[in-house]
């Protein structure tokens, strides 16, 4: 995952930083366990934050580039009330699982997973599950 943020340095000035995370290990349930985080000061390259995140797929997984973070700023986490099942579906997608794999893990049909996805997108007021994942990670709903 990669995104930019600004922070205040010891002199009180704001600097633009790029954050990159690489997953190193997963636990027995395939949850993120250890990661390598790299922070690079980039304000010598640009002064503008693009408010986008990219999720780079490894080991044959799809990459998702430039997910807008601006749309996500208007809602607070307590305004989006996902059911526990919707959270499980979101977690499945965040782990890169297909509709079929999520359905098998949760003992529901593939059509039910699609229905949950539709409800999740509507509640979050976004157009893609990737935007939901970014929002949920940002707010600590999933890790």
Strand runs (DSSP E) across the chain, as ranges?
A: 2-8, 14-26, 32-41, 52-55, 64-68
Q: What is the pLDDT of residue 100?
A: 95
Domain span including residue 22:
2-50
Are both 25 and 76 inside the same structural domain?
no
- Residues near 34 by beta carbon (within 8 Å), at least 6 away in sequence: 23, 24, 25
If asked whether residues 81 and 110 sit together in one domain, one would say: yes
Confidence grade of residue 81 (pLDDT, cut at 50, 70, 90): confident
Does the residue 65 lie in any domain?
Answer: no
Q: What is the pTM of this model?
A: 0.50
Q: Are residues 42 and 83 in the same domain?
A: no
**pLDDT tens across 109-135, in order?**
999 999 999 999 998 888 999 889 888
Mean pLDDT over residues 97-112, rounded?
95
Residue 115, domain CATH:
1.10.10.10
Q: Whose CA is closest to 21, among 52, 59, 56?
A: 56
Residue 88 lies in a domain: yes
Beta bridge partners of 108: none
- Domains held by the chain: number: 2
Residue 135 in any domain: the answer is yes
**34 and 76 together in one domain:** no
The predicted pLDDT at position 61 comes to 74
Torsion of Cα atoms, 19 then 128 then 74 then 39, to 10°: 0
Q: Which two tokens stand for residue 2?
A: 């990669």
Instruction: Specify if 130 maps to a domain.
Output: yes
């Amino acid at each position: 995952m990669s995104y930019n943020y600004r922070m205040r340095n010891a002199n009180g000035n704001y600097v633009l930083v790029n954050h990159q995370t690489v997953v190193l290990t997963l636990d027995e349930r395939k949850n993120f366990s250890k990661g390598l985080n790299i922070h690079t000061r980039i304000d010598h390259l640009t002064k503008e934050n693009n408010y986008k995140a990219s999720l780079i797929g490894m080991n044959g997984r799809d990459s998702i580039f430039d997910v807008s973070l601006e749309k996500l700023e208007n809602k607070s986490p307590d305004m989006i009330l996902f059911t526990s099942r919707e959270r499980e579906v979101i977690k499945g997608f965040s782990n890169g699982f297909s509709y079929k794999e999520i359905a098998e893990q949760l003992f529901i049909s593939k059509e039910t997973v699609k229905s949950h996805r539709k409800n999740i997108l509507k509640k979050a007021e976004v157009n893609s599950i990737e935007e939901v994942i970014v929002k949920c990670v940002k707010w600590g709903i999933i890790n």
